[in-house]
């Protein structure tokens, strides 16, 4: 790989990811894989050429981190083919071997100072494969994962249609690459282009306190979240929550966040609290197909009356989210100076509890009749000490809680996620009923 001479600063979001990479050690918590089942006949050479074109198209996949007193990133030119690890698992115990391979691959750290990408292809049958494009999170995000699969499918099917890997083909359009985004963000910082957002967050979050959590104060395990629990919100409750979202002109994210706020109010009795969440900063049209880490950590604060009902909580959540989205270019960790009078209990951090809703790409199919790529959801390691990720399926909501087992035992984690589901059932059935602090 030939190194380009230009060194670029990290984006605001990348700085957080680099800090997390130093904290999480070798756990693989910062892996952000794109995975898909490949159905059809595919040659390793075809895939190799398609991946080369994909990496050439998206500079983030050629970006490495240069440590030092001032951490930088550099974009490399592609002068050698992308390495593919190939495993033939076409035998009786393939499911066991596949699951073992995936578990090991996703839990093995990618070193972004060497290469941000690692590719594996598992043969499961004559025309059945599993493709894993494992990328370090510092140069990608969930939306980017979908873009990579979409672009790879288009490249592969064009090559198959033309039956040639050497003919010139028009690649999918990328308006801004990761370099352009980083340069734009740096320019905005230098000309104080985020000053309005800075003022908003400074005023909005002054005197805030994080939402109460069951986490212990001490951190015994620096590798972060190791526990994982999944429960579901059944289709009847989901339907009622979706009706509330439609009635209040809100999103499912707003209503599901309001459930968490309601649980916190009933259990802790507090009326003013904040929750961290992850938002895409793709506010410009040029960024719609950019591969990179374009996610910011934002803090959403609400204030409730003495006896609010669920609809009141939804309205407060809706306002917090709308205002947050209008100021989503500036992540919380980049506020300088930080908001004053932040109330912190027991050494808790604002990002101890992180809440987000993720799309479900399981049924997403890219490709043609001759070759189909079916995107699937990998079980990645949690990146925060208590992370609530809710994924909508066709009928239900799947609530996934990942947690740092050194700060939260499994029984307490189960109680936390079960309390969330019970709260969802209760408020969905009686959204207009006043809520009260139910614990002493």
pLDDT (tens digit per residue) in 267-316: 988 889 899 998 888 888 899 899 999 988 899 999 998 889 999 999 99
What is residue 81's three-state secondary structure? coil
Closest to 282 (Cα-Cα) out of 353, 176, 210:
176
What per-residue confidence (pLDDT) applies to 362? 45
**What confidence category does residue 139 fall into, taking pLDDT thresholds of 50, 70 and 90?**
very high
**What confidence category does residue 347 fall into, taking pLDDT thresholds of 50, 70 and 90?**
low
Instruction: Please state whether beta strands 117-125 and 84-88 pair in parallel, antiparallel, or not at all (unpaired).
Output: parallel
Q: Does pLDDT of 170 surpass 90?
A: no
pLDDT (tens digit per residue) in 380-434: 666 788 999 998 888 899 999 988 888 899 999 999 999 999 999 999 999 999 9
Provide the 10 A C-beta neighbour count for residue 96.
10
What per-residue confidence (pLDDT) applies to 65? 95
What per-residue confidence (pLDDT) applies to 224? 55
Average pLDDT, the chain: 86
Question: Cα(261)–Cα(272) distance, rounded to whole angstroms?
Answer: 10
**What confidence category does residue 2 fall into, taking pLDDT thresholds of 50, 70 and 90?**
very low
Quote the tokens at residue 255.
Answer: 């209503």
pLDDT (tens digit per residue) in 3-50: 445 688 999 889 888 888 887 656 788 899 999 999 988 888 889 999
Question: Cα(104)–Cα(94) distance, rounded to whole angstroms?
Answer: 15
Question: Cα(265)–Cα(310) distance, rounded to whole angstroms?
Answer: 11
pTM for this prediction: 0.85
Closest to 418 (Cα-Cα) out of 279, 275, 233, 274:
233
pLDDT (tens digit per residue) in 208-264: 888 888 888 766 655 555 788 999 999 999 999 999 999 999 999 999 999 999 999
| Percentage with pLDDT > 90 across the chain | 49
Measured between alpha carbons, how far is residue 142 from residues 47, 87, 191, 270, 380 in Å? 22, 26, 30, 33, 12
């Amino acid at each position: 790989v030939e190194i380009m001479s230009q060194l670029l600063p990290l984006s605001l979001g990348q700085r957080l990811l680099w800090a997390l990479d130093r904290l999480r050690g070798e756990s693989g918590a910062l892996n952000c894989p794109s995975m898909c089942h490949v159905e059809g006949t595919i040659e390793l050479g075809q895939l190799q050429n398609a991946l080369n074109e994909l990496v050439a198209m998206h500079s983030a996949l050629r970006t490495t981190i240069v440590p030092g007193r001032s951490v930088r990133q550099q974009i490399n030119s592609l002068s050698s083919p992308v390495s593919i690890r190939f495993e033939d698992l076409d035998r009786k115990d393939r499911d066991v071997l596949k699951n073992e391979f995936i578990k090991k691959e996703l839990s093995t750290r990618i070193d972004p100072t060497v290469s941000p990408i690692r590719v594996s292809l598992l043969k499961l049958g004559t025309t059945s494969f599993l493709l894993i494009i494992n990328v370090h999170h510092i140069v990608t995000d969930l939306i980017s994962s979908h873009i990579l699969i979409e672009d790879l499918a288009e490249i592969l099917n064009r090559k198959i249609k033309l039956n040639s890997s050497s003919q010139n083909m028009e690649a999918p359009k990328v308006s801004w690459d990761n370099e352009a985004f980083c340069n734009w963000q740096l320019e905005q910082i230098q000309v104080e282009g985020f000053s309005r957002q800075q003022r908003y967050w400074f005023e909005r979050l002054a005197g805030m306190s994080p939402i109460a959590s069951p986490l212990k104060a001490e951190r015994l395990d620096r590798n972060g979240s190791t526990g994982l629990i999944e429960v579901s919100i059944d289709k009847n409750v989901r339907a009622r929550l979706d009706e509330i979202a439609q009635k209040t002109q809100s999103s499912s994210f707003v209503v599901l966040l309001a459930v968490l706020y309601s649980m916190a109010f009933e259990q802790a009795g507090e009326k003013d609290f904040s929750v961290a969440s992850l938002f895409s900063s793709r506010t410009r049209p040029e960024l719609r197909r950019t591969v990179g880490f374009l996610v910011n950590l934002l803090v959403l604060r609400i204030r409730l009356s003495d006896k609010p009902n669920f609809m009141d909580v939804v309205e407060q959540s809706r306002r917090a989210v709308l205002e947050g989205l209008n100021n989503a270019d500036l992540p919380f960790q980049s506020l300088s100076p930080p908001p004053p009078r932040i109330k912190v209990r027991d050494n808790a951090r604002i990002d101890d509890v992180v809440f987000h809703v993720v799309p479900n790409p399981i049924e997403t199919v890219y490709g043609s009749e001759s070759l189909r790529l079916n995107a699937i959801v990998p079980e990645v390691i949690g990146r925060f000490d208590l992370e609530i990720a809710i994924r909508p399926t066709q009928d239900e909501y799947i609530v996934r809680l990942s947690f740092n087992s050194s700060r939260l035992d499994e029984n307490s984690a189960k109680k936390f996620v079960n309390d969330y589901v019970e709260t969802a059932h209760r408020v969905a059935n009686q959204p207009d009923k006043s809520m009260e602090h139910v614990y002493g």
